[in-house]
Protein backbone atom coordinates (compact mmCIF):
# COMPACT_ATOMS: atom_id res chain seq x y z
CA UNK A 1 0.00 0.00 0.00
CA UNK A 2 1.26 3.42 -0.93
CA UNK A 3 0.79 6.38 1.34
CA UNK A 4 -1.99 8.87 0.68
CA UNK A 5 0.41 11.65 -0.31
CA UNK A 6 1.87 9.53 -3.10
CA UNK A 7 -1.62 8.56 -4.33
CA UNK A 8 -2.69 12.22 -4.29
CA UNK A 9 0.43 13.27 -6.18
CA UNK A 10 -0.15 10.57 -8.81
CA UNK A 11 -3.82 11.56 -9.10
CA UNK A 12 -2.84 15.18 -9.73
CA UNK A 13 -0.31 14.10 -12.35
CA UNK A 14 -2.88 11.90 -14.10
CA UNK A 15 -5.39 14.76 -14.16
CA UNK A 16 -2.87 17.12 -15.74
CA UNK A 17 -1.55 14.60 -18.28
CA UNK A 18 -5.01 13.47 -19.38
CA UNK A 19 -6.27 17.05 -19.71
CA UNK A 20 -3.23 18.11 -21.71
CA UNK A 21 -3.38 15.03 -23.95
CA UNK A 22 -7.10 15.58 -24.62
CA UNK A 23 -6.42 19.18 -25.53
CA UNK A 24 -3.38 18.65 -27.75
CA UNK A 25 -2.75 14.98 -28.48
CA UNK A 26 -6.04 13.22 -29.20
CA UNK A 27 -7.49 14.06 -32.60
CA UNK A 28 -10.95 12.60 -31.91
CA UNK A 29 -13.64 15.17 -32.85
CA UNK A 30 -15.92 13.82 -30.10
CA UNK A 31 -13.48 15.13 -27.50
CA UNK A 32 -11.56 18.36 -27.72
CA UNK A 33 -12.32 21.56 -25.89
CA UNK A 34 -15.77 20.74 -24.53
CA UNK A 35 -14.52 17.95 -22.21
CA UNK A 36 -13.20 19.09 -18.83
CA UNK A 37 -11.34 16.85 -16.40
CA UNK A 38 -12.68 17.78 -12.96
CA UNK A 39 -11.08 15.28 -10.57
CA UNK A 40 -8.96 12.15 -10.42
CA UNK A 41 -8.80 9.54 -7.69
CA UNK A 42 -6.26 6.74 -7.37
CA UNK A 43 -6.68 3.61 -5.27
CA UNK A 44 -4.30 3.01 -2.37
CA UNK A 45 -2.30 0.38 -4.29
CA UNK A 46 -1.88 2.80 -7.25
CA UNK A 47 -3.35 0.23 -9.67
CA UNK A 48 -6.58 1.95 -10.69
CA UNK A 49 -7.41 5.56 -11.39
CA UNK A 50 -10.88 7.05 -11.75
CA UNK A 51 -11.02 10.18 -13.90
CA UNK A 52 -14.09 12.39 -13.48
CA UNK A 53 -15.08 14.62 -16.37
CA UNK A 54 -17.81 17.00 -17.46
CA UNK A 55 -19.00 17.75 -20.96
CA UNK A 56 -20.32 21.06 -22.14
CA UNK A 57 -23.38 20.28 -24.24
CA UNK A 58 -26.49 18.16 -24.35
CA UNK A 59 -27.01 14.44 -23.73
CA UNK A 60 -25.87 13.53 -27.24
CA UNK A 61 -22.57 15.36 -26.69
CA UNK A 62 -22.11 13.57 -23.35
CA UNK A 63 -22.69 10.17 -24.95
CA UNK A 64 -20.29 10.84 -27.80
CA UNK A 65 -17.65 12.17 -25.39
CA UNK A 66 -17.99 9.00 -23.27
CA UNK A 67 -17.45 6.87 -26.38
CA UNK A 68 -14.49 9.02 -27.40
CA UNK A 69 -12.85 8.68 -23.99
CA UNK A 70 -13.29 4.91 -24.05
CA UNK A 71 -11.65 4.71 -27.47
CA UNK A 72 -8.78 6.98 -26.41
CA UNK A 73 -8.18 5.14 -23.12
CA UNK A 74 -5.07 3.31 -24.38
CA UNK A 75 -3.42 6.46 -25.74
CA UNK A 76 -4.15 8.32 -22.52
CA UNK A 77 -2.84 5.49 -20.34
CA UNK A 78 0.39 5.39 -22.39
CA UNK A 79 0.84 9.13 -21.89
CA UNK A 80 0.27 8.72 -18.15
CA UNK A 81 2.80 5.87 -18.05
CA UNK A 82 5.47 7.99 -19.75
CA UNK A 83 4.86 10.94 -17.42
CA UNK A 84 4.51 8.97 -14.18
CA UNK A 85 7.60 6.76 -14.53
CA UNK A 86 6.17 4.20 -12.13
CA UNK A 87 6.56 0.44 -12.19
CA UNK A 88 2.89 -0.05 -13.03
CA UNK A 89 0.69 2.39 -14.95
CA UNK A 90 -2.76 2.60 -13.39
CA UNK A 91 -5.77 1.56 -15.43
CA UNK A 92 -8.02 4.49 -16.26
CA UNK A 93 -11.76 4.52 -15.72
CA UNK A 94 -13.73 7.52 -16.95
CA UNK A 95 -16.82 8.58 -14.99
CA UNK A 96 -19.11 11.47 -15.87
CA UNK A 97 -19.06 13.91 -12.97
CA UNK A 98 -22.45 14.59 -11.40
CA UNK A 99 -21.37 18.03 -10.19
CA UNK A 100 -23.29 20.10 -12.79
CA UNK A 101 -26.52 18.20 -12.14
CA UNK A 102 -26.08 18.57 -8.38
CA UNK A 103 -25.41 22.29 -8.76
CA UNK A 104 -28.54 22.70 -10.89
CA UNK A 105 -30.64 20.82 -8.30
CA UNK A 106 -29.30 23.02 -5.50
CA UNK A 107 -29.96 26.16 -7.57
CA UNK A 108 -33.56 25.03 -8.21
CA UNK A 109 -34.09 24.38 -4.50
CA UNK A 110 -32.67 27.80 -3.61
CA UNK A 111 -34.99 29.48 -6.15
CA UNK A 112 -37.95 27.63 -4.63
CA UNK A 113 -36.92 28.75 -1.13
CA UNK A 114 -36.54 32.37 -2.29
CA UNK A 115 -40.02 32.38 -3.82
CA UNK A 116 -41.48 30.81 -0.66
CA UNK A 117 -39.75 33.46 1.47
CA UNK A 118 -41.15 36.18 -0.77
CA UNK A 119 -44.69 34.80 -0.34
CA UNK A 120 -44.30 34.69 3.44
CA UNK A 121 -42.96 38.26 3.40
CA UNK A 122 -46.00 39.43 1.40
CA UNK A 123 -48.48 37.72 3.70
CA UNK A 124 -46.81 39.00 6.87
CA UNK A 125 -46.31 42.59 5.70
CA UNK A 126 -49.64 43.86 7.15
CA UNK A 127 -49.92 41.39 10.01
CA UNK A 128 -50.24 42.43 13.65
CA UNK A 129 -49.10 40.66 16.76
CA UNK A 130 -51.61 38.31 18.40
CA UNK A 131 -50.75 39.68 21.85
CA UNK A 132 -48.40 42.43 22.95
CA UNK A 133 -45.65 43.46 20.62
CA UNK A 134 -43.10 42.49 23.28
CA UNK A 135 -44.41 39.57 25.38
CA UNK A 136 -41.40 39.51 27.70
CA UNK A 137 -41.41 41.37 31.00
CA UNK A 138 -38.61 43.74 31.76
CA UNK A 139 -36.87 43.74 35.17
CA UNK A 140 -38.33 47.16 36.15
CA UNK A 141 -41.92 46.21 35.26
CA UNK A 142 -42.18 43.50 37.95
CA UNK A 143 -41.97 46.09 40.76
CA UNK A 144 -44.70 48.26 39.20
CA UNK A 145 -47.04 45.27 38.95
CA UNK A 146 -46.46 44.30 42.61
CA UNK A 147 -47.02 47.88 43.82
CA UNK A 148 -50.29 48.10 41.88
CA UNK A 149 -51.51 44.76 43.30
CA UNK A 150 -50.67 45.81 46.90
CA UNK A 151 -52.84 49.00 46.78
Alpha carbon separation from 92 to 12, 17, 111, 128 (Å, rounded):
14, 12, 38, 64
Chunked into runs of 10 residues, the chain (151 residues) has average pLDDT values of 80 91 80 82 91 86 87 89 88 86 89 92 80 75 58 56
Q: What is the pTM of this model?
A: 0.67
Buried b / exposed e along 113-130 (16+ C-beta atoms within 10 A): eeeeeeeeeeeeeeeeee
User: What per-residue confidence (pLDDT) applies to 143?
Assistant: 59
Asked whether the beta carbons of 13 and 76 are under 8 A apart, the reply is no
Amino acid sequence: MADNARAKKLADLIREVVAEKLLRGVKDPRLGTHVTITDTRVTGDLREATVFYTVYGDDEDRASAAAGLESAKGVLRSAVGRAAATKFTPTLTFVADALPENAKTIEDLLDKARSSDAQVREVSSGAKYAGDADPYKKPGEDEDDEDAAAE
